[in-house]
Structure 1
């Protein structure tokens, strides 16, 4: 049998298994060590990818953004590996330095998708990108979280801040946002459009991002990796790794707010700054309730047909 026919047959097996929910979570997968999961690439670009551990998270070190990563390198359940250099995830790119622009230029991006809403752009600024790149706005609602956060900090009143963010309210807000990733037709449309572009064989390297690169971007990455048959535990670790990459920056933000007197207890922000397994679980539980399975979410929720799912495999997974 030719290699092309073998690849097509393997894709068919994968899609069939997804359809009936029988794909074994642990098949063809060896969990990486904690050190391997969070090891960063040596620099400068280009990275010696072939020398990296298969399950290493490939961070792109920049001065003006802290959560920029190549989603490639992960092993799939069928023994393939997600190709590198094609899809990137990040936090906002509005504060890139000149040196950062040189680094980003080296990625060869042909498209940047921005999930932020207008208020975020107003406060954080538009993306700063290499010449010839213009971001595509693809707004995904945060249920007003950004405005609520800005308003709470602006009061400078510790009692009001506690009333808004304390007592588990911040965590509940985050779980609601994640459920909305699944229930909102507008959000589903934006994620689906991005997946279709990624699957397009004519589309060059693409980067998508939100403000912190952890929630909307985290969900997009989780869905993409699962659609490529990356094991669920691996996709979850990729999602949770935002805590590692953002920890120092987020701590500086809290320290600055306390020092300036705007927040007496900036730790109220931690549930909003972090990603957590139960946030992700809120979204996955919602998709199972609404669509029965992850495959149902891909096909019925996002409207992706089998041809598009097969194109994702062909483009992004190498044997």
Structure 2
């Protein structure tokens, strides 16, 4: 049986996406959220609307949508996205990820903006480890806290890397400026996209614990697809212990805390880190909250 390395790691594989949508029922979304968008070719697509802010207002639906990669969408998925009247899609994947997975499938006329944000090499590193089929090498890299250290390194980069903060800041400016929904995604829709949306929700006045809950929801929506991936690599004989991948597949409080601690004061991070002026922050809130 032939196995593609791309199909063995990442959110874009159709087999795992199908497993998540058909093998088990999608979990219900908390009534406070804008809602899960069910797609066959992506498992972590959701509107961030519906959250309440400190002053009792509500984040609007149909403004900001977060997702995993869109390269495995079906025709029906593309048609569903078309009904959302997207203004644009912002793809945070690196060139290596796009090259391995393929370009986004989006409705006709919707521009895709390539805005690659580094994953500190994690995607290619994992492909190489899986391809090696070497249990000792995999254990050495991922065991004994190795996988967790890889994730913490990436979250430190998300918070502090100059190129990353510039691109995240520009994405927030885009969200502040458009009157129609913008969809933002990376590969799994959980780390780069998760951090960005956590920042956006906090910036518009959503309490930290609520923004954190939205971040952690990726574990709920990705669980079936991630389990299917682990089973696939084991059945392919590429990993004796595919559970080594779990820390890479999950989002965790400690990962988010790594980035939060790295930025220090949140207000200064918005202005000094992301380069957002007070007017842009006010416009973001005006556009996303009602």
TM-score (norm 1): 0.81
Deviation at 1:57, TM superposition (A): 5.3
Work out whether 1:96 is the aligned partner of 2:85.
no
- For residues 22-101 of structure 1, the aligned pairs below 5 Å read 39-40=28-29, 53=31, 55-56=32-33, 58-101=35-78
CA distance in 2, matches of 1:105, 1:153: 36
CA distance in 1, matches of 2:141, 2:125: 8
Please name the residue that 2:24 is paired with: none
Work out whether 1:309 is the aligned partner of 2:281.
yes
- For residues 185-264 of structure 1, the aligned pairs below 5 Å read 185-200=162-177, 202-264=178-240
Please name the residue that 1:111 is paired with: 88
Please name the residue that 1:153 is paired with: 130
Deviation at 1:39, TM superposition (A): 2.3
Structure 2 gap ranges (5+):
1-26
Deviation at 1:134, TM superposition (A): 2.8
Please name the residue that 2:246 is paired with: 270
CA distance in 2, matches of 1:305, 1:81: 23
TM-score (norm 2): 0.89
Please name the residue that 2:150 is paired with: 173
Distance change in 2, residues 1:57/1:170 (3 Å): farther
CA distance in 2, matches of 1:56, 1:195: 20
Structure with more relative contact order (C-alpha pairs < 8 Å, separation 6 or more): 2
- SS of residue paired to 1:139: coil
CA distance in 2, matches of 1:314, 1:217: 22
Deviation at 1:203, TM superposition (A): 4.3
Deviation at 1:260, TM superposition (A): 0.6
- SS of residue paired to 1:88: strand
The correspondence for 1:296, drawn from 265, 268, 272, is 268
Deviation at 1:182, TM superposition (A): 1.4
CA distance in 1, matches of 2:169, 2:90: 12
CA distance in 1, matches of 2:69, 2:203: 25
Deviation at 1:136, TM superposition (A): 0.5
- Residue by residue over 1:45-89, the C-alpha shift from the partner in whole angstroms, topping out at 9 and shown as x without a partner, is xxxxxxx83x13510000000000001100000111000011100
Distance change in 2, residues 1:316/1:57 (3 Å): closer
CA distance in 2, matches of 1:131, 1:180: 34
Distance change in 2, residues 1:241/1:57 (3 Å): farther
- SS of residue paired to 2:89: strand
Distance change in 2, residues 1:278/1:150 (3 Å): same
- SS of residue paired to 1:82: coil
Work out whether 1:182 is the aligned partner of 2:171.
no
Structure 1 gap ranges (5+):
1-37, 41-51
- For residues 8-27 of structure 1, the aligned pairs below 5 Å read none
